[in-house]
Structure 1
Amino acid sequence: MPDSIEQAKRALRADLRERRQTISAHAREIAEDGVKEQLDALVESLGARSISCFLSTTTEPGTHAFVAAAVARGIRVLLPITREDGLLDWAVATPDADITEGLFGLPEPVGDVLGPIAVNDVDLLVIPAAAVDRRGMRLGWGRGYFDKTLGSMEKCPPVYAVIFDSEFVDDVPRDVHDQPVSGIVTPTRTVRIAASPA
């Protein structure tokens, strides 16, 4: 059975990846503005002073403008750094930080590296996703970094996945290690997902 789940995930990821490739540069700019507006409002509503966020790739809904504005407002933003062992290190975002290509070609900060437990102190986690379903189950890109991070946190704060509107779907394939999210942020809306029994 796990093989069929993995195959379903692979097929859905491939479809979503292909759809993201077709989004125009102009539409991406509009999406980044919308994501910034939605995340700003979410941070404000939660009173978050310390958050984690990811640096988006060119095909993801953009987070760079949000991160820069949050840092400028004095919010502590931790950015993930991928490790070979499947865990995430973290670095504090700064206004003038360099960005380099990490494992898998992902944009990552250059700076003082904090260990995996640094994220335990944040008020909000903002994470990437390929899709999220109505129950809050998240389909990631298959490397398991964020599932491991969420699964290892003793006291997990709210977790919001950033996706395009069309990626909020009825159902995603789910495996035992997959971790749900508290809600989604898209370029046009923020949806809080009520916790439901697994």
Structure 2
Amino acid sequence: MPETQRPHPGPSPARAAKTALRDQLTTARKRRSLEEVAETGRRLRDHLLALPEVRRAATVASYVSVGSEPGTGLLLEALHAQGKRVIVPVVLPDLDLDWAVHPGTGAGLATRRGLLEPEGPPLGVDAIATADVVLVPGLAVDDAGYRIGKGGGCYDRALARVPVGTPTIVLLYDDEVGREVPVEPHDRPVLAAASPRGITPLSARGRGPAGG
């Protein structure tokens, strides 16, 4: 008699809710005008450069924005002009993040998997721990600091390597801050959000992952 097979469990409620929210947020971003994307980049640059933590930082971990993501190009140029070391991610085959030094211009960047990544030597997955400030992408964040990204889990693994107390900031549009975000046990919160209206402190105190 053949062994009775158990039904394969479906996605958790939080994961299903994330997928629906991610689709909604991605669609909304595609509708944003080039003018809004550019203006958001200018305001993010100004707000972040005014932060004491960024002014004091020797190394900043950031990323190279693509498409309708809030622009980081002007910010990266300004950080380089101030003599700061900027490291940006390189996505590994297992979706973990290695890091490399940003070249300061687009000439040293290559397009891989639809992302712009530096061509310089890799620094290793633990290089993010050397950053004085960590700037991360996302699609939305809640008031407790839990963000939703594109679904690969890259940044949750990377954030787990960031020392406690290091400023971690997600870059977003105004209406993506303070959203209701489903949380899973592996999710890592950030300490603040940067959007065109300014820097919003966030707090993970009092809220744990769903089911925890």
Question: C-alpha displacement at 1:194, in angstroms?
Answer: 3.0
Change in 2 beyond 3 A, CA 1:43/1:127: farther
1:48 aligned onto 2:57? yes
> What is the rounded CA distance, in whole Å, between the counterparts of 1:180 and 1:138 in structure 2?
7
What is the CA-CA distance between 1:150 and the residue it aligns to?
Answer: 1.2
Residue 40 of structure 2 is matched in structure 1 by 31
**Which string of whole-angstrom CA distances, capped at 9 and with x for unpartnered residues, describes residues 132-153 of structure 1?**
0011111111000110111234
- The residue aligned with 1:4 is 13
Partner of 2:139: 130
Contact 2:53 2:167 in 1 (8 A): no
Deviations 1:110-129 (A, max 9, x none): 21211111111111100001
Structure 1 outlier segments of 4+, above 3 Å: 43-46, 152-156
> Measured at CA, do residues 23 and 144 of structure 1 come closer, stay the same or move farther in structure 2, by a change above 3 Å?
same
Letter in structure 1 aligned against 2:120 = G
Give, as a single letter, the amino acid of the residue that structure 2 aligns with 1:109.
P
CA deviation map 1:53-107 (0-9, x unaligned): 011111100001101110111011101000012221111122244221123x112
Q: Which runs of structure 2 are paired with 1:8-87 in the superposition (5 Å)?
A: 8-42=17-51, 47-87=56-96
Local SS of the residue matching 2:160: helix
Quickly say closer, same or farther: Cα 1:50–1:152, change in 2 above 3 A: closer
Cα distance 1:145–1:79, how it changes in 2: closer, same or farther (>3 A)? same
Runs of at least 5 residues in structure 1 that lack an aligned partner in the other structure: none
Corresponding residue for residue 119 of structure 1: 128
Identity within the alignment, %: 32
The question of whether the paired residues in 2 share the 8 Å contact of 1:150 and 1:156 is answered with no
Q: What residue identity is the alignment partner of 2:72?
A: T
| AA of the residue aligned to 1:101 | T
Q: Do residues 102 (structure 1) and 115 (structure 2) align?
A: no
Provide Cα deviations, 1:9-52, integer angstroms capped at 9, x if missing partner. 01111111111111111111111101111111125566212110
> Distance in 2 between the 1:101 and 1:94 partners?
14
- Return the alpha-carbon distance in structure 2 between the equivalents of residues 162 and 53 of structure 1: 10
**Do the aligned partners of residues 165 and 52 (structure 1) sit closer, same or farther apart at CA in structure 2, a change above 3 Å counting?**
same
Are the equivalent residues in 2 in contact too, given 1:81–1:102 (CA < 8 A)? no
User: Which structure has the larger Rg?
Assistant: 2
Aligned-partner Cα distance in 2 for 1:156–1:109: 27
8 Å CA contact retained: 1:79, 1:108: yes
Q: Residue 74 and residue 43 in structure 1: after superposition, are their counterparts in 2 closer, same or farther (change >3 A)?
A: farther
Distance in 2 separating the partners of 1:182 and 1:34: 19
2:168 corresponds to: 159
